[in-house]
Structure 1
Amino acid sequence: MGRNKLERFRQNEANANVVQPGKENFEKIKGNWKSVQFKSNAPLVVELACGRGEFTVGQARVDASKNFVGVDIKGSRIWKGSTIAIAEGLENVAFLRTQIELLEDSFEEKEIDELWITFPDPRPKDRDERKRLTSPKFLEMYKKIMGREGHVHFKTDNTGLYEYTFDLFESREDIVIYKNTRDFYQSEWKDIHHGIMTRYEKMFMDKGETIKYIEFGFKEA
């Protein structure tokens, strides 16, 4: 392991805005994000597979009325967002190092107010359907940890994943679609994300890809 990566791991251990296995805050966090991590009752917004945290940190900069959590398994990635947030004095942003499959170990039922699924791996092979972050397996997990009035945002450049996701949502009686577009930046909603882009989003757009977007929620049982 490289020296730089080891140093980043050491900094993650020291950074109070990083929640990860082995740290005291990790053991106490489930059901207590607002009281333990943020000491604020503001709405909790979570981004999955946040990478370097560009989108999580960007949202925290422009909206001090919410608490933001970026989730990723790669410690060397979340180190970047963590150190930027600390340098800028952003107290409404944190990072959780864990596998997305284990979200229920870190969030209580109905604890999340808003969820972002930004440019996930499309997993195009049929045998990998269960690994897609919009597959039925993951939707059932989101349904448990999302507040009943919470909204989920899904963005992708991948047409196949978008069509799979849209068709799945259309087939389910427990999902309501609030917004849907095959070209987000030509839609009426292009300004609602404050112009914040991830590194991958910029890369896809430079290649001429359109960004697909669905905002949805879960109906009351």
Structure 2
Amino acid sequence: MGSKNKLKRFTENETFKNVIQPKREEILAGNIDLKGNWKRHFGNNKPLVLELGCGKGEYTLGLAKQHPEKNFIGVDIKGARFWRGAKTALEANLENVAFLRTQIELIDLLFDESEVSEIWITFPDPQKKYKRTKHRLTNKAFLDKYARILRPGGLVHLKTDSGFMHGYTLGLLHGLGYEIIYANHDVYKNEGSPPSVTGIKTFYEIQYLEEGKPITYIQFRIS
């Protein structure tokens, strides 16, 4: 994507009512009015669901269409990517969708305790190298952050094409004693996966399937 295209998308994002872009210094200073009050943005008190690392927002949109009884926020630092999802949501009049531009390690500074109902982590970078462990979105430090903002009994979903990420997360969850509700190493070949897993396919997921890569899924509780 050219720099002019990116600049155009950044400019458009600033005009979109469904895009929230707090500055890092504001987050660190605790100057986030929506923290603990995200229902004000949506105008209702529906359960709040996050997709972390939402990319172009395809999964966030898919979930929002499947579940109009919930509100969804796609979270990513790359605004030029989720521009497409935000624009599509506005064009489709999807009122239960928003996009938040921030780094995921700041997530517990943007949502209050027990404010979030569910978290989706879809096709994250597995960060295979040991020195990159701290960047894996299911490492203990991140799980602790999620636990702080999730309501009691809140769900976390991990959907990935990485067998490494799937195995790493399962092992960590077992070691920490967290409740694993459902785990599947090939959701399209085994029955029983929720419609929210098999009923939504992103652009890259379709490519993975064409290459014969199995798609894995874990649903678990950490709070």
**Same fold (TM > 0.5):** yes
RMSD of aligned residue pairs (Cα, Å): 1.6
Residues 161 and 213 of structure 2 are in contact (CA less than 8 Å); yes or no, is this contact kept in structure 1? yes
Residues 119 and 200 of structure 1 are in contact (CA less than 8 Å); yes or no, is this contact kept in structure 2? no
Q: 164, 170, 188: which one pairs with 1:185?
A: 188
- Give the AA of the match of 1:161: M
Could you tell me which residue of structure 1 aligns to residue 124 of structure 2?
120
Q: SS in structure 2 opposite 1:109?
A: coil
Q: 7, 21, 32: which one pairs with 2:37?
A: 32
Superposed CA offset, 1:38-97 (max 9, x none): 011111010000000001011111221000000000010111100000000010000000
Could you tell me which residue of structure 1 aligns to residue 215 of structure 2?
211
Residues 143 and 222 of structure 2 are in contact (CA less than 8 Å); yes or no, is this contact kept in structure 1? no
Identify unmatched segments of 5+ residues in structure 1: none
- Report the alpha carbon displacement of residue 191 of structure 1 after superposing the two structures with TM: 4.7
Q: SS in structure 2 opposite 1:115?
A: strand
Q: Structure 1 length as normaliser, TM-score?
A: 0.93
The percent identity for this pair of structures is: 46
- Give the AA of the match of 2:190: S
- Give the AA of the match of 1:208: G
- Report the alpha carbon displacement of residue 200 of structure 1 after superposing the two structures with TM: 2.3
How many corresponding residue pairs?
Answer: 215
- Structure 1: distance between partners of 2:219 and 2:33: 31
- Give the AA of the match of 2:41: Q
Q: SS in structure 2 opposite 1:14?
A: coil
- Structure 1: distance between partners of 2:32 and 2:172: 35
- Report the alpha carbon displacement of residue 218 of structure 1 after superposing the two structures with TM: 1.9
> Is residue 160 from structure 1 mapped to residue 168 from structure 2 by the alignment?
no
Q: SS in structure 1 opposite 2:13?
A: helix
Could you tell me which residue of structure 1 aligns to residue 93 of structure 2?
89
Q: Structure 2 length as normaliser, TM-score?
A: 0.92
Identify unmatched segments of 5+ residues in structure 2: none
Detail structure 1 runs of 4+ shifted over 6 Å in the superposition.
Answer: none
1:32-181 mapped onto 2 (5 Å cutoff): 32-34=37-39, 36-173=40-177, 175-181=178-184
